[in-house]
Amino acid sequence: MTEPAGTPPGEAPEAPGEVRTLTRELVATPSHEDETAAGDLLEAWLRTETDATVTRDDHGNVLAARAPDSDPVAPSESAADRPTLALVGHHDVVPPDDSQVVDDDGGEGTEYILEERDDRLYGRGSADMKGSLAALAVAFRDAALPDDGPRLVFASFVGEEVGGEGCRAAIEDGFAPDWAVVGEGSTGYSADGVTDVAVAHKGRRASTLVAHGQAAHASEPEQGDNAVYRAADAVDAVRDLDAPTATVLGHDLAGSVAVTGIEGGDAWNVIPERCEVTIDERTVPGDRADIGRAAGESIDWEVDQDLPPMACRDERFASVALAAARTAHGHANDPLAGDDPAPGATPEHVVKPHATDAGWLADRAGTDCVVCGAAEPGEAHTADESVSLAVLDRCYRIYRGVAETFEGG
C-alpha cells in the first residue's frame, strides 16, 4: 500500500504515475454491457492500495471510506457524527464504436482498443469517465485529511449511462454524503484547456403527448376524429411554452423545450386514431416548463425519463473547489497552464448543459455537489473519444486539493 504523501494544505502535490496506469487499465476493461470486470479491477485496486473500508454493494457499485470504522453507506455511530465528503464517478460506458474494438461482435468479450499519442489516451470511456475515475481513486488514496474535516468517501457507480441506476440504488440504501465532487467533464468550458468547476447543470425530462381520436375512412373524414390534428394543436401549445430559467451562485441557466418527433396514422386512407409527440425538455433547478398545458381532453401526457438538474447551494464548498482548481493550474508540472495562468485561462465557476449523477445526489440525498473532470465538450460517446493525460494529472491535484483543504462545517 502506498502511504499518503501528506502534502500540507494549499501546496499542490505531485501527480503520481498511478493515475495514468489505472486509467489505461480501466479503459482497457469492457463495461458497456456488464460492469463487473471494471468493478472487480477497481475494488481490487482499492483493497490493495488503501486501508479503506471497501464495499461492493448488491448493485455492483464500488464504495470505500477512509476511516476503519467508517462504512461508506452505514458508518459507525462515532463516524456518523462527522459529515461526509465524497469523490464520485462511474465505471460503465456507452457501447463502443466498431473502430474502438478489436472485433465488432458487440459483446462484453470484445477487446477495447487503446491508443496513445500527443499525450492523449484514445479509447471508449477514456473521457467519460474512466480517466477522471482513476484520478478520483488515487486522490482518495493519497489525500492527507484535515484533523477536523469531513470523512472521505469514494464511490463509483454502475448504470450512470442508463439513467443513474447505480447512484439511485445507493441512495435508496442510505448513501447520502454532505458534499461531493463528481468527476464528469468540466474542461474547456470557460476557455480551451481550462479545467473549470461546474456549480450547476441542467436536467432532462423526456416525455410523450399521446393524442387519441376516432378512426374512419379518409373519404369521409367527418365520420372520425383526427388524432394528428389534436396532436398538431398540442405541438402549437408546446411551442408557446416559456422555457424555465434559474440562477445558481450568480450563474444563469436557461432551460429549453423542443418537440423532437411526431408519429401517427397507419394507412394513407385511414383517419388516424392515435398520434404521439415526443418532447425533449432541459430542466433547471427549481423550475420546469408547464407541459401539462398541452395535454387535456383526449391527450395524455406520459413522462418517459426525468433526470434531475443540480445546483450547489454551499458557496463555501464551491469556493474551495475553485481554489483547488486554480492551485492545480498553477502547478509547475502542468504543461497546459504554466506557473502563472494568464487572465482568461484561469478556472471559473461554470454551468453544464448535461445531466450527471450529481443531479440524483442533489435531488434525492440533499448533497451539495460540484462537477469537475477532465473530459472536454464533444469527447464523450464519440468514435474518437480521448482524454488529455496532462489534464488527468491536473484533476488528481484538484481532487486531492479539495479533500485536503475543505474542512466541512
Task: Just list the catalytic residues.
Answer: 92, 160
Distance CA 181, CA 178 (A): 11
Which phi and psi angles does 350 have, rounded to 5°?
Answer: -135, 175
CB 357 within 8 A of CB 90: yes
Q: Determine the straight-line distance between the first and last CA of the chain, rounded to whole angstroms.
A: 31
Distance CA 20, CA 390 (A): 9
Judge if the upstream peptide bond of residue 129 is cis by omega within 30 degrees of 0: yes
Angle at 17 (CA atoms; ends 13, 23), nearest 5 degrees: 115
Helix (H) or strand (E) holding 357: helix 357-365
Buried b (16+ CB within 10 A) or exposed e, 5-28: eebeeeebbebbebbbebbbbbbb
- Quote the cell numbers at residue 385: 473519444
- Quote the cell numbers at residue 326: 486554480
- Which residue in 41, 195, 183 sits closest to 112, CA to CA? 41
CB 144 within 8 A of CB 7: yes
Task: Describe the crossing of helices 18-27 and 389-405 by its angle, rounded to 10 degrees.
Answer: 120
- Quote the cell numbers at residue 143: 489525500
3-state secondary structure of 392: helix
Distance CA 170, CA 177 (A): 11
The bridge status of strand 368-371 relative to strand 179-182 is parallel
408: left (phi over 0), alpha (psi -120 to 50) or beta: left
